[in-house]
Structure 1
Amino acid sequence: MKAIFSIIGVLFFANINAQKFDCSSKIKEYQELFQAKKVTESFTAWTEVSKNCPKQSESVYTDGIEIQQFRIDNAASPEDKEKLVRELLKLYDQYNRNFPSSSADFEVKKALALMDSNVGTNQEIYSLLDSSFAKNPKNLSDARAIYTYFNLYFEKYQAEKTKVTSDMVLDKYMVISALLTELETDKPEKETEYKTAARGVRSLVKELATCDNLSTYYEKNFEANKENAEWLTTALSNLTIKCGGEPIYNAIAEANYKLKPTSKSAYFMAVTCIKQHRLPEAIQYFTEAEALETDPLEKAKLDYSLATGLLSKEKEKSKALLVKAYTLDPKMGKAYLFLAEQYSNSAEECGKTDFEKKAVYYLAEETLKKAVTAEPRLKPTADRMIERFASKKLTDKDISDKKMNGKSITIGCWINETITFPKK
């Protein structure tokens, strides 16, 4: 009972102290000082707040991290920098103790702080990342942290093959690959970063993750995971690159699709059908994948793949899919590029007169201009194609001689487009 009263007394006096110490005013004070670049004074005021008002607001920690990072960046010596980094790590610990739900990735932040300041050892960085990953893999959402974690794990494999086996590396590789794939979808604004990390991870295991090793690995683990959709999808993603034609790929693709027809599972079935030269079925699965996809940009990718691959020779269908692709994704300039190439290859087929044949090249050039508008980086490619068409397309003189300025002409055939020429 005496102990209970003692605790109540401590809490009471702490509350009285917090009331005496005006937390809100002090927070405003250090924030204004920091904005005025009076970092030393700001840090002093912030230190008082962190001691007296540890649970007042998350901003105490987010502001403190910003102030401390400024001090680290402006440290006078490597020794001072390391001391300040160590203080920052303690601040992350304090942040997690007081606001755990908002700082689940605090160990990842600590690892990144060590990396950014070139402080600590690889083992220290690895231990922090591994601890965070073990608690919840989704704590690792920073692409650089994910790559570093796998890289350090792979280094352990290379140095301690008795403790870290090739199967353990492949296990980790599968989980990391699945995580990066999921993050690409969840955080499309960082897609490039995750793709770069994925390429880096694949590069590390390229000698270990051979088609034979991957096939053996998945054959061994397939039975235990044949109803685990996440495992199956990751397996197919990894096998598609090197082993799309292997029997285990077919088995996993069929199990995945049977478990639940989704855009991805239908796509993997399309791949396995292509490898087995079952092209009509592949087209059906591609079409189903597109229909099941809800993301317009992903739908556009599937339309483009089908238009430029399995249906490239069926020009009318190919065109319809390309139009759909760049309608869904207005930045998909490559769809216009392919369509322009299709037009130019059909001038003889679709033009009834010399004028119409040249008009098809004119249409192809106008389509290339749209490609550049949609995706400016394609300009060099479009310019080369335009130069190729230069001697074949209509000139201003051709249009004037036929008195077609300001008038239109319709090209039939599969192209089925009306071209309106500019006025003089």
Structure 2
Amino acid sequence: MKTKLILFLSGVLFSSGLLHAQANQDCARTASLAYTDAKAKNYDAAYPKIQQLREECPTYSVVTYQYGERILKDRLSKASEAEKKEIAQDLINLYRERLEHFPAKTDEGEVKIDIAQATYDNGLGTKQEQFEAFDKAWNEGRENFSSAKSLYTYFSLMVDLQDEGQKDLQDVFDLYDEVYTKLEEEENKMAEGLANLIEKQESGDELSSKEESRINAYETNLGVYNKVKTSVDAKLGQRADCDNLIPLYRKDFEQRKDDVEWLRNANARLSMKDCTEDPLFVEVSEALHQLEPSANSAYSLGQLAESQGDRAKALEYYNQAAELQDDASAKARIYYRIAGNYKERGQFGQAKNYYNRALQARPSMGRAYLQISNMVANSANNCGETTFEKRAVYWLAAEYAARAGRVDPSISSTANETAAAYRGRAPQRADIFQEDMQGQTINIRCWIGESVRVPNL
């Protein structure tokens, strides 16, 4: 009896094994036919076989779902409006099946974004449900949320919901900041990858076909991200005008005045929209500068103080901005502005000091030399005792003007004309001969504190 039972069980197991082997063979055969058609883009022929694999052999291969996605997207592109929702729902089901059966070979975050986009593109569910799908994908996997199209859709839905009264304006601004930052992060990744390949290309190294393709992809994606950023700004539209921004930030200022991120965003948005005349902008800028002093915040406060006529305070902030600034060109521009403030007030000595600081930061800033030249020339009557000495000051003014043209070819024409004009006001050959001053050095007093050598005849 025992022997018969063993023989029976063995037969059952053997039969089961045969059936399993047969099933595997059937799956392999169907898959081979389906994948061959799909690879050849014969999607109509591949479709029923892929559907059969999903139903009968769901764990056979992740390739089933890869080709299945292509096929269903192709069917969506050709479907009538009446057919689209059913196909879109099937595509969403396919995404979920792949995640269920091949979790190790599937990026969950990307799948959730794909599901959200398919839901929106095909009008499935309410606008709130569509937004929640994107919001869930964003909150659970921001690092994977890199699709420019999906980032725009996510923000666009937020704005639409705010228009319908379901979201606050602050919600819109908060998401704008996050989405815009993410778009710039992705741009930076693309730009860095592109720069590395361009550097390799320019060094004479031959790029592989894969690298050539990557260059094209980087350039294309950079263009896409740039367009989406423009579209996001357009979608935000007039919601970010002063009439909306000022009461919004005024309402939260006292509560958020110690929040650096909030202050930074408020300062940037108020500045970008030229809402700088309202006292709130001053309060936000000052609070931000106290918590996180930066060249930009200091410079912004300097501009405010200058516009209000408080030159002393403006200069204090400008000096802070220059000290905090690491970029040489930006530092030179700040020193140039400080010098201009002193020049307007007739404090030529201080002005010259700051023009020289600008030139130390950026030696090619020829316009700084031109400004010094102008101040020197305007001081001719005050910086000499005799008529000859006063006119000799113009030689120094001409030297500064000529130097401006040498260091900055873009202003060489103006600089050379200025230099020639000042030489014309300086003592001429007859004057030098009459005063017997050829080859002598004249020390120029007052704020100038330099000397000039009289030309030899």
Q: Please indicate the TM-score interval, normalised by the length of the shorter structure.
A: 0.5 to 0.7
CA distance in 1, matches of 2:336, 2:30: 63
CA distance in 1, matches of 2:61, 2:413: 65
Aligned position for 2:237:
203
In structure 2, relative to structure 1, the CA distance for the partners of 1:45 and 1:287 (3 Å cut) is farther
Q: CA deviation at 1:216?
A: 0.8
CA distance in 1, matches of 2:187, 2:133: 24
Aligned position for 1:270:
299
Alignment RMSD: 4.7
Q: CA deviation at 1:17?
A: 6.9
CA distance in 1, matches of 2:276, 2:288: 15
Question: Which of 405, 415, 420 is equivalent to 1:346?
Answer: 415
- Cα deviation, 1:370-412, whole Å, max 9, x if unaligned, reads xxxxxxxxxxxxxxxxxxxxxxxxxxxxxxxxxxxxxxxxxxx
- Cα deviation, 1:323-367, whole Å, max 9, x if unaligned, reads 9xxxxxxxxxxxxxxx7754454342357999xxxxxxxxxxxxx
Question: Which of 208, 222, 239 is equivalent to 2:270?
Answer: 239
Task: Say if 2:74 is the partner of 1:70.
Answer: yes
Equivalent position amino acid for 2:130 in 1 = I
Aligned position for 2:161:
156
Equivalent position amino acid for 1:179 in 2 = V
Map 1:330-409 to 2 at 5 A: 342-349=411-418
Give the greater-gyration-radius structure (CA): 2
Conserved? CA contact 2:148–2:183, under 8 Å: no
Map 1:2-401 to 2 at 5 A: 20=24, 30-51=34-55, 54=58, 59-75=63-79, 77-97=80-100, 98-99=102-103, 102-117=107-122, 122-135=127-140, 140-160=145-165, 164=167, 168-188=168-188, 189=222, 191-206=225-240, 210-223=244-257, 226=258, 228-242=259-273, 243-244=275-276, 248-253=280-285, 256=288, 265-277=294-306, 278-279=314-315, 281-282=317-318, 284-285=320-321, 288-291=324-327, 316=359, 320=363, 342-349=411-418
- Cα deviation, 1:209-260, whole Å, max 9, x if unaligned, reads 634224314414314xx2x544343333323213346555455555555656
CA distance in 1, matches of 2:22, 2:262: 52
CA distance in 1, matches of 2:145, 2:85: 24
CA distance in 1, matches of 2:164, 2:285: 36
Conserved? CA contact 1:215–1:246, under 8 Å: no
CA distance in 1, matches of 2:66, 2:304: 53
In structure 2, relative to structure 1, the CA distance for the partners of 1:320 and 1:194 (3 Å cut) is farther
CA distance in 1, matches of 2:142, 2:180: 11
CA distance in 1, matches of 2:98, 2:339: 56
Conserved? CA contact 2:119–2:130, under 8 Å: yes
Report how many aligned residue pairs link the two structures.
Answer: 308
Equivalent position amino acid for 1:231 in 2 = W
- Cα deviation, 1:146-174, whole Å, max 9, x if unaligned, reads 444344333333433xx54xxx2223312
Aligned position for 2:209:
none
Conserved? CA contact 1:96–1:104, under 8 Å: no
Equivalent position amino acid for 1:99 in 2 = P
Equivalent position amino acid for 2:239 in 1 = V
Conserved? CA contact 1:27–1:49, under 8 Å: yes
Conserved? CA contact 1:126–1:152, under 8 Å: yes
- Identity percentage of aligned residues: 19
Q: CA deviation at 1:186?
A: 3.9
Q: CA deviation at 1:32?
A: 3.5
Q: CA deviation at 1:192?
A: 0.9
SS of 2:172's equivalent? helix
CA distance in 2, matches of 1:220, 1:268: 19
Equivalent position amino acid for 2:131 in 1 = Y
